[in-house]
Structure 1
Amino acid sequence: MLKQKIQDLFVEPGCAKNQAKSDKDRKKGCGKPLTPGAAAGGCCFDGAKIALQPITDVVHLVHGPIACEGNSWDTRNSHSSGSQLYRLGFTTDMQNLDIVNGGEKRLYKAIRQAIKRHNPPAVFVYQTCVGALIGDDVEAVCKAATERMGVPVVPVNAPGFVGSKNLGNRLGGESLFEYVIGTHQPDDVGACDINILGEYNVAGELDQFRPLLARLGIRLRCSITGDARYLDVASAHTARANMVLCSQALVTLARKMKEKYAIPYFEGSFYGISDTSEALRAIARMLVERGADPTLTDRTEALIAEEEARAWARLEPFKARLKGRKVLLYTGGVKSWSVIQALQEVGMEVVGSSVRKATAEDAAKALERLGGDEDKLADAITPRDMYAMFKDGKAEMMLSGGRSQFVALKARTPWLDINQERHVGYAAYDGMVEMVRQIDLMINNPIWEQIRKPAPWEV
């Protein structure tokens, strides 16, 4: 079953890259042979857990050795406005005897203990390499536990060896679609309810654009999965529209919700002033087409005009200080193109952007915003080449994740965290102002001029 599910994900019809293939190439799928070290950027299990752990009020139980669970507290800095249960690490802590005798009984006891101690609305059980290799049937155990304990126990069958972190994101979405979404019917369905897919509330970014939606009378029925509750996800099928923030991770979920529940979707971004405004317009337009109050369009334009004027006034002092400064963007997914325009809006020059975790459509958008210069796009940049860019003055600053920071810092170059580990939100209008402020604090810090001077013993 898992093999067939993976094959279906590899020929995803909602993927722009697959749509452009011939029928013969489409049947081959888009899987690539894994090489040693491929899991350094995250295995399939890691991707599934990253995608689902922001559901805050459920128990996330890892069926495997304790090392698979790791330190879950700060794996991704996803905030919660309520329950903190998702912050706790739960694992069956499989030992040698479990590998010999099988771990299904141990898993069942762990589920029972977690429910008894924490009384969650649901338990999510994650399969790992060890459990899969010895043949533990997590689906059967979860089904039995659900029937006997009266609490939904959701299997997430995404062992690390089957693929990359991105595949794990999509398998996590499959578990939500198969076992959770559509299982609860709320009594407060509205004409302006939406879902946002691929939003993980990193550094509390939901609070930077959720108030904008509220001012327009638009209710965020569910963010999948940032700051979500189990019943929110179970009720997501009642929304009138879906906005996809990270299409590479959850485009399959969006497509299946459209087919089963007739919920249209579009891909957008809340990074940057222009992209935030376009996202709000698209949401309003889609809701009006589905029967919402036609005045929503005019109210949206009024809100955009007000917020853009306020944001540009706050950004004005930074423009002269940042104009023409060269920045390397080394991230992926939606940020590979949306942050480009955010930086260009204040006069910075993006000298390169990574598209290593982006869809073909993401890459096309990034290329368009870089003026069609293909030399500025790269799947990956080696540390040696990256270091040379900084030493040769081709880039004055880097925005990336934590794993790349040491290359920039070794080259005595400013660096700013743009990925999920960060503790500052950069979404919507207020987030854009904050990101520019952080860039200014970093790139214009006098410490860089001091540390680039020769040491006293070198003079």
Structure 2
Amino acid sequence: MLTDRLAAVFHEPDCATNRAKSDTARKAGCRAKAPTPGAAAGGCAFDGAKIALQPIVDAAHVVHGPIACEGNNWDNRHAASSGPDLYRRGLTTDLSDLDVIHGGEKKLWRAIGEAVDTFDPPAVFVYQTCVPALVGDDIRAVCAVATEHHGRPVIPVEAPGFVGSKTLGNKLAGETLLEHVIGTREPETTTPTDIALIAEYNIVGELWQIAPLFERLGLRLLSCITGDARFHQIAQAHRARVSMVVCSQAMINVGRKMKERWGIPYFEGSFHGLRATSDALRNFARLLVARGAPADLIDRTEALITEQEARVWRRFAPLRDRLAGKRVLLYTGGHKSWAIVSTLQDMGMTVIGTSVRKATEDDKDRARALLGEEGTLFGAIPNAEMYRMLKEGEADIMLSGGRSQFVALKARRPWLDTNQERHHAYAGYEGFITLAERIALTLDAPVWDQVTRPAPWEDEEAPP
């Protein structure tokens, strides 16, 4: 039952946030506030489940619900593919008023058949939204019969929007993979250095900035859950030797259960920033050697880190003076709440505060240690307060997601997108340079000097 799966997620033992809750707060679930009716993108469990699973690029993703659910959700993340583009097709049953009255199961059955006949995917994911959940469509039964009929997995994703937040939807997507996908296929070969990434979605190709580092060290990325993934790669993730959870708030449950079921140790890390990237590589090397990988892997990892960090500092040198001492307001969440702090500090910038929305307790502890007494940990900042901080010059630039950009622009202060809507990849060593270049370009744009000058009619010294 969906209620049982929700209860399991709410009581996730490896989630520091859940452990710190009272019994009453834990029963309320993994959400800071109730979902907003009508707000699909960013505001509901369906949205979270879809963005977590959609990067499986060769599968068909059928949204069972009104067309607006798919329309609001289809491209809210720039997850990139190195091959198949089926994940970019918006497939939906487009439920109408009559379907609410008569039920939508037959329509779903036809939609699954059409997706299979048209695209011949290795698997079909079927997403339940609020409307069919409320009228009682049994998508689990439809998917079970469709699996037998079409000879391929047809997987129910039971995460209707009203059950909770986007983060909860991420976790329910992970539970779906654990129940229906991971462990259902054996890889043709295995190696002592097979690894898996969990909750890495290849936003604007960031995975591709990390993969060459793995190749240099002889590590095989057996499965990425789910960035630029093929269905069979997810199915064989249980044969990885070590896994890394990139966004703990999203899929810590997957890391824990893979450890319990198949003995795969995991650690939490990030690829944003020099220190975070180097630490992640070190952790992979240490855990793999402990599980039988060649002992020289640790020394080779240190050599690669030394080489890459030296290369980055050489390329960063021309930017150092342009960024040194600049004050930054960081308004993001999750692991970026601390990983980007360390990145900006490495650039010589001062972070006056960072948002810890959607961050685990471990994330908050890391952010607090990095900022010390000079910085502040924020929850949600009201727009008026954010505007005041920028207008009064407490920060020289704000790094955030797209929804808060207009506050910065209204205050006539530089702003740079660091969330999933961005168009540049900031992961790994190469991403460090890219981020530094984008910040420098944003700060030095001539528009800021122009928009902060007094208008001619405001200049007291202007001639009459």
Q: Find out whether 1:180 has 2:160 as its counterpart.
A: no
Task: Give the secondary-structure state (helix, strand or coil) at the position aligned to 2:126.
Answer: strand
Q: Find out whether 1:327 has 2:333 as its counterpart.
A: no
Partner of 2:342: 341
Tell me: CA distance 1:30–1:401, structure 2 relative to 1, closer, same or farther (3 Å).
closer
Q: How does 1:180-219 map onto structure 2 within 5 Å?
A: 180-219=181-220
Partner of 1:455: 455
| AA at the equivalent of 1:247 | S
Partner of 1:8: 8
State whether residues 397 and 414 of structure 1, in contact with CA within 8 Å, keep that contact through their aligned partners in structure 2. yes
How far has the Cα of 1:23 moved from its partner? 7.2
Q: Find out whether 1:116 has 2:117 as its counterpart.
A: yes
How far has the Cα of 1:312 moved from its partner? 0.8
Show CA shifts across 1:38-58 (max 9, x none): 947421100000100010000
Q: Find out whether 1:404 has 2:404 as its counterpart.
A: yes
Q: How does 1:262-341 map onto structure 2 within 5 Å?
A: 262-341=263-342
| AA at the equivalent of 2:309 | E
Partner of 1:388: 388
Q: For 1:275 and 1:64, locate their aligned partners in 2 and report how far apart those are by CA, in whole Å.
A: 40
* Greater Cα offset, 326-335 or 65-74: 65-74
State whether residues 72 and 88 of structure 1, in contact with CA within 8 Å, keep that contact through their aligned partners in structure 2. no
| AA at the equivalent of 1:7 | A
Show CA shifts across 1:371-423 (max 9, x none): 145x6111110110000001111011011110000000111111111000111
Q: How does 1:120-269 map onto structure 2 within 5 Å?
A: 120-269=121-270
State whether residues 72 and 87 of structure 1, in contact with CA within 8 Å, keep that contact through their aligned partners in structure 2. no
Structure 1 residues without counterparts, runs of 5 or longer: none
| AA at the equivalent of 1:424 | H
How far has the Cα of 1:445 moved from its partner? 1.8
How far has the Cα of 1:455 moved from its partner? 1.5
Tell me the C-alpha RMSD between the 2 structures. Answer: 1.6
Q: For 2:402 and 2:20, locate their aligned partners in 1 and report how far apart those are by CA, in whole Å.
A: 34
| AA at the equivalent of 1:441 | L
How far has the Cα of 1:17 moved from its partner? 2.5
How far has the Cα of 1:129 moved from its partner? 0.2
Aligned residues with identical type, % of pairs: 58
How far has the Cα of 1:102 moved from its partner? 0.7
Q: For 1:20 and 1:33, locate their aligned partners in 2 and report how far apart those are by CA, in whole Å.
A: 17
Q: For 1:117 and 1:26, locate their aligned partners in 2 and report how far apart those are by CA, in whole Å.
A: 44
State whether residues 216 and 300 of structure 1, in contact with CA within 8 Å, keep that contact through their aligned partners in structure 2. yes
* Greater Cα offset, 355-364 or 339-348: 355-364
Tell me: CA distance 1:318–1:421, structure 2 relative to 1, closer, same or farther (3 Å).
same
Q: For 1:77 and 1:32, locate their aligned partners in 2 and report how far apart those are by CA, in whole Å.
A: 26
Structure 2 residues without counterparts, runs of 5 or longer: 460-464
Tell me: CA distance 1:444–1:93, structure 2 relative to 1, closer, same or farther (3 Å).
same
| AA at the equivalent of 1:116 | D
| AA at the equivalent of 1:151 | R
Tell me: CA distance 1:161–1:425, structure 2 relative to 1, closer, same or farther (3 Å).
same
Tell me: CA distance 1:232–1:30, structure 2 relative to 1, closer, same or farther (3 Å).
closer
Tell me: CA distance 1:390–1:228, structure 2 relative to 1, closer, same or farther (3 Å).
same
| AA at the equivalent of 1:419 | N
Number of matched pairs: 458
Q: How does 1:404-423 map onto structure 2 within 5 Å?
A: 404-423=404-423
Task: Give the secondary-structure state (helix, strand or coil) at the position aligned to 1:395.
Answer: coil
State whether residues 221 and 236 of structure 1, in contact with CA within 8 Å, keep that contact through their aligned partners in structure 2. yes
Task: Give the secondary-structure state (helix, strand or coil) at the position aligned to 2:83.
Answer: coil
Task: Give the secondary-structure state (helix, strand or coil) at the position aligned to 2:229.
Answer: coil
How far has the Cα of 1:18 moved from its partner? 3.0
State whether residues 35 and 43 of structure 2, in contact with CA within 8 Å, keep that contact through their aligned partners in structure 1. no
How far has the Cα of 1:322 moved from its partner? 0.9
State whether residues 44 and 159 of structure 1, in contact with CA within 8 Å, keep that contact through their aligned partners in structure 2. yes
State whether residues 31 and 165 of structure 2, in contact with CA within 8 Å, keep that contact through their aligned partners in structure 1. no
Task: Give the secondary-structure state (helix, strand or coil) at the position aligned to 2:196.
Answer: strand
Partner of 2:61: 60
Q: For 2:258 and 2:227, locate their aligned partners in 1 and report how far apart those are by CA, in whole Å.
A: 18
Show CA shifts across 1:322-365 (max 9, x none): 11101110000010000000000011000111111111111111
| AA at the equivalent of 1:3 | T
How far has the Cα of 1:8 moved from its partner? 1.1
Q: For 1:142 and 1:35, locate their aligned partners in 2 and report how far apart those are by CA, in whole Å.
A: 27
| AA at the equivalent of 1:16 | A
Q: For 1:87 and 1:35, locate their aligned partners in 2 and report how far apart those are by CA, in whole Å.
A: 26
State whether residues 71 and 89 of structure 1, in contact with CA within 8 Å, keep that contact through their aligned partners in structure 2. no
Tell me: CA distance 1:23–1:135, structure 2 relative to 1, closer, same or farther (3 Å).
closer
Q: For 2:230 and 2:331, locate their aligned partners in 1 and report how far apart those are by CA, in whole Å.
A: 32
| AA at the equivalent of 1:265 | Y
Tell me: CA distance 1:38–1:67, structure 2 relative to 1, closer, same or farther (3 Å).
closer
Q: For 1:144 and 1:303, locate their aligned partners in 2 and report how far apart those are by CA, in whole Å.
A: 51
Show CA shifts across 1:206-227 (max 9, x none): 1111000001000111111110
How far has the Cα of 1:30 moved from its partner? 5.0
Tell me: CA distance 1:41–1:344, structure 2 relative to 1, closer, same or farther (3 Å).
same
Show CA shifts across 1:217-243 (max 9, x none): 001111111100000000100100110
Tell me: CA distance 1:22–1:71, structure 2 relative to 1, closer, same or farther (3 Å).
closer
* Greater Cα offset, 44-53 or 74-83: 74-83
Q: For 1:403 and 1:33, locate their aligned partners in 2 and report how far apart those are by CA, in whole Å.
A: 18
State TM-score, norm by structure 2. Answer: 0.96
| AA at the equivalent of 1:302 | A
State TM-score, norm by structure 1. Answer: 0.97
| AA at the equivalent of 2:147 | T
State whether residues 402 and 421 of structure 2, in contact with CA within 8 Å, keep that contact through their aligned partners in structure 1. yes
